[in-house]
Structure 1
Amino acid sequence: MIKAGIIGSTGYAGQELVRLLINHKSAEIKWFGSKSYINKNFSDVYQNFFKIISDKCLDDNMEKLAEEVDVIFTATPQGFCSSLINEEILSKAKVIDLSADFRIKDVDVYEEWYELKHKSPQFLKSSAYGLCEINRELIKNSNLVANPGCYPTCTVLSVYPLLKEGLIDENSIIVDAKSGASGTGRSAKTDNLFCEINENIKAYGVTNHRHTPEIEEQMSYAAGKTVKINFTPHLIPMNRGILTTIYASLKNEQTYEEISSVYDKYYSGERFIRILDKDVLPQTRWVKGSNFTDINFKIDSRTNRIIIIAAIDNLIKGAAGQAVQNMNIMFKIEEITGLMQVPVFP
């Protein structure tokens, strides 16, 4: 049985980790870390766990935690994991970090976009970027995995095959993404109040959203050359889910069947990527509460552009679900373990 500890268990992603792990046949939670609720019953913070979990919240002592568990999940703000991690911790436990601290390999880029001094740049080279369907072998052999961001997960999985095969102009990519309010976190902020979000949609982080360099870096790996994109996220009045619409110019004319065969080449064996039937476009309600990524595309022959649409649950495939998927890979157990929940509908 894998012993797991969660630091940041009372955030939205953290509590989803709890929900997934308590039903995981090969894992058990030994540490519910939350510096905001030390000594408070976890189920008092999230009443949906009443009479299911009786544990109290503990502190965020990563060194002590490493003595007691096999894997540590850090569902914490940027800068936290990199400020505490060290060789001794990594010699005792595997770490899956849900923040951006180890996602971007270029420390200067990280520091520029996140406006933080990176505290552990020595681990950037050895850490694995945990996009499971793309980096499975790297993840399998790593003790430190950077769980991808929600927008990057949805976006990169959508275009990876096309970039890898050189079918789209890498300088033409425009990403229009929409996310539910849980993507902003659980902290009390004026912009997150009901009256601010309800009956409204707004763009934010225009030209400077912090997921931009992460997306560009992963796309560049796929294309084998530098990729620059336009990325504009939007906040919409729903609890959870991401829908991305990606526009790109095709280098040559392509048929539906040709593009479809490319997606099949890369994803036909993937349990958590669903390429939908022709003309069926993804919707967030079809992936809610699940680890699935739904993808489809349309070719605009008039402009010779391809429009790719994808949907994920930002808290599952975009955070906790992918983290558990990474854990399964790292411990060499069946990758789908604990993750085959049917999406919640309606």
Structure 2
Amino acid sequence: MSNEMLSQEEINALLNEETAELTPMERDALGEIGNISFGSGATALSLLLNRRVELNTPSVELSELSELIRKYPKPCLAAEVDYTTGLKGTNLLLIQMHDAAVIADLMLGGDGTSPNTNLGEMEISAIAEAMNQMIGKASTSMSSLFDLRVEIAPPRTRILSMKNLDEFSAQFIKDNLVAVVYFRLVIEGLVDSQIMLVIPYLFAREMAKTLINANEQEPIEEKMAEQPKTNRKKPLDREKPKADGSVRPVQFRTLESAPLMDGPSNLDLLLDVPLELSVELGSTKMRIKEILELGIGSVIELDRLAGELVDILVNGKLIAKGEVVVIDENFGVKITDIVSPFERVNNLQ
């Protein structure tokens, strides 16, 4: 047997190895958090990509970060999220490059069938917006799940080479132990692979315990309902008159019409309410790719012909049409057609 003494680092490693673990309840809680929160995130991603997106069957395991680096495909795209309100910590969402390229291609107007995995600044910006929408929805679901206001900072999206620990923030490499939630990512007809949510060990336990504590707090009414009737305390121990057992119809007092009062009409009370009036020259729809390509001197074609009447709106509701005129070097609008009162009422609904 060797007489060499263990270093403090080796002792700490042994202690961590023995004590660092997730209980079955904590694993279930993390799986539930991933299932519900990122399920709503998948819905947001579906709307952005105009494709059915599924994040199915989360599984949870503990892993050393160095082992995760060794196993995960290289390189990959990472979206790092800081929780700022309600929870304090960091999560990391890892996506394989091909899957990220498909998302970027769909965001920029492509069909996703032949994505370019050499992601440039434009593609990464598109993915960052997708991750922002997706994780934002996930945090909203967490707020309901935890019965706690949960807010996040905008995700930091970047490419990781997955070669060493230096690429990760301090919170991840502090003890080199992370909880990993695996999801099966399915994008209709294009992707069927795996993504990972990586959570520092201590923060993962905090998230799990927050959900467990929220589930243990039952409403007082439910607890009272579970108690036997004989054990419930009465607010006042007074004798009540015995009911005679007969049933009588409910009697309502007759309402009498009140006399009209002199004074200003209801409309007069609203005459000084400020409203926002705007004039719409035209509109059009553009893809994100087209908007990113706009520059000084670019021309945007609207859905109106030259000389066509413009719309006049009050608080966003159409009330009239008119033509643009110039009065003393200022633009103005000459009303040529008023929307009928019936149509105006319909527009307000």
Under a length normalisation based on structure 1, what TM-score does the superposition of the two structures give?
A: 0.25
Question: Which structure features the higher share of strand residues?
Answer: 2
Over alpha carbons, which structure has the higher Rg?
Answer: 2
* TM-score normalised by length of structure 2: 0.25
